[in-house]
Structure 1
């Protein structure tokens, strides 16, 4: 082996660290057959500095205890022969491999053998047949030990997979349980990777990747805070809320993070039943003045209304749960989809509808044009008191066609959103509980729930912004 001066080694190491080329390029430049020698100098320099390159090449003799300590360090850690040699300041790392081989074949006695060829040949030759039998037995034992170790690693691997699956399942179900210990026996990383046929480089790559800091941790924390305030925000509304808070993120990234954090909205599902209330034309009806022209640029010009039903459970005097009903009568301004008035009652009646109508008329009296109040053909909107009140205030009355909910789709859309986000999948056990939940949601809907068609603003935010410009 050629001898290289300290200056020559240091020059190559400095060129590598200065980024003038990789180890293959430097090996070719200075006439090395392979880059292993250069990599060895670089590792020694990183570990010990310039002193490592000055280490003497003179042969040293090592005690049995020193050899045993080196073997123990290799077997009890994941360090390579080179890393152990660097730590113990051994010139040639292949010596550790020879010590390990002698130790496995002959135990501690193999470490005490003198270096070099024996001075005299043994007087008696060992019988070749006995030697071959002994060698074959040793190889057979080693092979069986290897197979046993592989089976143990496979069992431990499968148990670990099962434990991780159960842990993930319990985490999703919000359960906390103690997991059983996979295996008390520890295996060397080399044996595990060999058994699983997993490349060492891939293992080291993912080990470094898992240990690095999560680059989206801050955004994820903000998304969790938003979810606590807006439990039914999908990735589009979540993206707009993040932008309001100063986090400019692509919507696809928001969608991916919501899937990672399990923040997808589960409220909106399709119904399996269909309902039709068509019974033909009944009573006195008004013309369909809106004719599905729901858009308007004037506040309080077009108002729509309808009635919807909710169910709740309540115990009677016999302590038996009874299904009871609650009715909501809201009035919506089609300018910004704001609920301008509403009433809640235990049964459908004219009194609550007229109270909600009176409040809606009072709140919309600032409209500079003649107003239009739209509804379906329900009995409440065909009452003389209802139609006469509208005539007295010089308000147009319009009605949807019979059995056609699309003619009043804005209000039907509001009912769908209200029930999906508040009602479906929940059980309310009293009238007051359900009433308070509806009142709280309507306030949230008007003041905080953003809409895409309103420029990602809530109805009241949209109206106030327009009033400022006007």
Structure 2
């Protein structure tokens, strides 16, 4: 690829700035790369042609300020080059990689020019190596650091399993005893990562501390019965009420894990009551078919069972028989065990108070095993009551009972 001179690039930039031509047409005319040409155009628009002809002097402070500004403002390489009037995006990328791996001191120590090939050393490096004393690495100090770190991290099996935050906390606690350089060399953590967590330790986030207090308060208010999902809903409602931005559920989960808050009262899904056991007995056709209107008492009746929770935590079962003409609860039964006798009691009470009507009576239920039992069907025949059943997994025909249960609960 032919190297393009600075004068040619400057001529292309001025042609684009002064004429009615597109950036792509000028770039193709002079054979300039798109990324580089956009940076040159941005520098020319911001500073003129001065930085293009005479670029700024590159020093250690210049590199450090450039990389810090880029990371603090979350800027791209092009935006950073335009902001500092520096026309080499490749150098910016290399400086940032060096800063992330070795810290700010690496940018200050960086020398201009290329590194020697084939492992050759420069004159200055050879002089420093010859004048430096021949000492072996201090393995004893390294072992002491690892031992102290393992003692601080008693719950961690090995240093490789420890998180960066935990390692940074150990370094923060041990830096009064050891040199920071020795701690960084002995532990699997970089200097920039430690500096990030050190800033977090010394300047905690006020919003996060407030969120921790809210989480702990609501967790104790609900007596440790709410997990992450239910607690997240309550926290979001609270933040909407006070007019603040709602936190993410992953953030709430992380903070609950850090504070050791865990729902222990309901660690498994509570089984809900279901009276249907499949085709155990004889099923009846749907005679009601959602025709709920009636002007005669006892002509259309519905029956169903629900599960309730008592104050002491026990499960209680309720069965009702409701008349659709008067919306009156004719009979009901309450028991701690949903057995057959519990289901038959309301029907037996109904037969005792049932008068002679002279018209067809219908009792509608679901397909629960109680209502398919021959004892239930025998009682219906004794009272000349026609049996009606909903289709499986269809509660619309029994909506009258469901409404009563909903209001009751």
TM over 0.5: no
TM-score of Structure 1 vs Structure 2, range by shorter chain = 0.3 to 0.5
